[in-house]
Chain A
């Protein structure tokens, strides 16, 4: 028999003290793990947000280039009708190009012209057309039109293609120009920085060749061991060729002075003389030879009248060419380039041109889809929950239904997409790519979440409230709708909003029912073709244009803002209507 007085002595024993210490240590460890987990989660969140926000920042501004454009009356509206439909037929793309040609008359070759046209957006011509159609009085006049910069010009202006760095130029420059090309010579070693850089590259190439030669040597040794002398001889020849190449490169690198060729894979060196530039194709420590961009005569320039710029990113590795850089820099110096807040991103539909693309179409598509989803999922889900919680008898059939609902909540969302494709599109003929189809699929996907949350909320209503209502003579229906449902509404709404937030961020099932289509127009109803925000993000992330990277991140931010707002609303409702019994 255990004596309780004996047991109570244990409380003061050293063993008890040790046990207590152990318990406290366990508690401390648990706290430490908890804090560690929170810190890790916080760090992950901060990393994610930082990465998204820093990438998105480029999408919130856009650049404009103001150029005078002559809206030739003979071209646009020869009979002076003022009729917008006639005005709309003119070739505004051509007029835009004329504006560029007028600004840069020295750009002559076809390829150069194409590069020049690429600094303004293809959408600018439509805006010019829009302007002429809405205000026909501008026809026949020359006006300063703000041309939207193209994605590459915009990215260059934002510094995404590396910086154009001004180097020290201390000498007087002698220029011998033949019109197209020019030879420049400085009285000081103003181009030594390029030479140093190029020689560094030569040494790197030599080292690489020596490494390759060593590999060939290894191969030769192996073939000799095997007795395959033919192969061994091939390896030997290759090894000797590589070593010879390396020696030559090293000799070039060691040599003082000399001339090196600049091609598309080496850094660009640009000599600026006011509005005219020379792009060097060969360089020595004191000068070089290059192509003239602009018009240039033989001239001598003092220090300060000319500058040397280098762009470390080789021309082959960036979308913006040296010619385009020169044109943009000239425009920037003329003060006609401006960068403003990008409202277009929030008001335009999708586009293949990054500078014209916006999220409004996807946002409206999301709105219609969510509208269909909530109109279907909320009433059906809540009614199903009321039936299961308040009316259904506990029998095998209902337990089976319950288990299945819980299982459905865990089914991967793409399965609902397949269901939607087969049943709603295939069988019922719901229009493809429409918010109606997407909304139905998302409603089916959200239903289990709403049912489970609603049932949990209703089960949390104390039985005393049901007793009270039934005791007065309320029917089951009245009890459910007058008392249980209103009291559980905060929980139901919280569950619904969380389910909706999940649906808002869903991509996979919508891909199955064709909501990945490229849709430019903003949908005006639930049967129009549409896309939704997460699908838009998915599509943009896949586009090759660099400018879509920023837009993808910006769209993610917009989606996150919506999700945070929805979850905030859920928290607010829960706190606001929380009841204690």
Chain B
């Protein structure tokens, strides 16, 4: 935890999210720090995924979704009119709960982001970016001989690491992970967790997880959500050993959720 900084990457204040009449997030304020893994924990339906998706404006695709409050990245309003969500999402990458590689080759999966954003000029550079991303996602050794095999032919854990490689290939500054290990077996989970710890050196990582052990293992900061409220936010060690709120206490000791 030595390289953890106090620089705020994304700051959110008084965020409310509505799905039509449903008040999904109620007055949440969290600061995502630079080079830090922040974990969102909480029971199902508490709004942690919704909040995560606010950070890269993925909720824009849902017509009925309405967001109020301040969300700033590097001091700039994420929801300002001048911000193009396409540009934002290039900087704030996302990994989803279920591995969702494109039904294309492994190479094309990773190369897609750099291609559409015009990050590299020629083929050699593109190959380099793909290799670096796959290496960083700790999957290069397994796939280097079959880069042109379809991404969907990989195992679940490999697919998820491929998705991580795809997300980091666009050189994002923040990486959002929505329960990235929930569909994986313990060995694959361990690999992903190791990877998240690696990635922290280059990115701010926000991870939504149902597993409190996972949150304790990989994160430095933890936010506990409950029924749309953010109950408690602080250092992971503090949350897990000495929570302030009774609800946090009950949740982490397994009394509900």
Contact = CB atoms under 8 A, between A and B. Distances in A.
Interface of A: 393-394, 462, 464-475, 478, 482-483, 487, 579, 581
24 contacts: A394-B63, A464-B100, A465-B103, A466-B61, A468-B96, A468-B102, A468-B166, A470-B58, A470-B61, A471-B56, A471-B58, A471-B89, A472-B89, A472-B93, A472-B167, A473-B113, A473-B117, A474-B116, A475-B86, A482-B112, A483-B102, A579-B103, A581-B103, A581-B152
B239 to A, nearest CB: 28
Nearest to B98: A464
Interface string B156-177: 0000000100110010000000
B87 interface: yes
Nearest to B61: A470
Given A472-B90, A473-B116, A465 B58 contact: no
**Which 9 pairs of residues, A with B, have the shortest CB-CB distance?**
A473-B90, A464-B100, A471-B94, A473-B89, A472-B113, A468-B100, A475-B86, A473-B86, A474-B116
Nearest to A579: B103
Interface in B124-166: 152, 163, 166
B116 to A, nearest CB: 6
Interface of B: 56, 58, 61, 63, 86-90, 93-96, 98, 100-103, 112-113, 116-117, 152, 163, 166-167, 170
Contacts of B167: 471-472
Contact of A472 (B61, B98, B116, B152): B116
B50 to A, nearest CB: 14
A487 B150 CA distance: 14
Contact of B96 (A394, A467, A579): A467
A74 B99 CA distance: 91
A467 B58 contact: yes
Nearest to B117: A473
B115 to A, nearest CB: 9
A470 B89 CA distance: 8
A474 B102 contact: no
B170 A465 contact: no
A94 to B, nearest CB: 73
A469 B102 CA distance: 8
A440 B199 CA distance: 58
A482 B111 CA distance: 13
Given A470-B89, A474-B116, 11 more contacts: A468-B163, A471-B58, A471-B93, A471-B95, A472-B166, A472-B167, A473-B88, A473-B116, A482-B112, A483-B102, A579-B103
Chain A CB within 10 A, most for which of B61, B101, B163: B61
A393 B63 CA distance: 7
Contacts of A472: 89-90, 93, 112-113, 116, 166-167, 170
Contacts of B88: 473
A464 B86 contact: no
Contacts of B102: 465, 468-469, 483
A448 to B, nearest CB: 25
Contacts of A478: 116
Contacts of A466: 61
Contacts of B166: 468, 472
Given A394-B63, A472-B89, A474-B86, A467 B100 contact: yes
Contacts of B103: 465, 487, 579, 581
A464 B96 contact: yes
A465 B56 CA distance: 17
Nearest to B150: A579
Given A393-B63, A394-B63, A468-B163, A473 B170 contact: yes
Nearest to A487: B103
A467 B86 CA distance: 12
A472 B163 CA distance: 10
Contacts of B56: 471
Given A465-B102, A483-B102, A579-B103, A471 B96 contact: yes
Contact of A473 (B87, B100, B101, B152): B87
A474 B167 CA distance: 12
Contacts of A469: 102, 112
A20 B93 CA distance: 55
Contacts of B90: 472-473
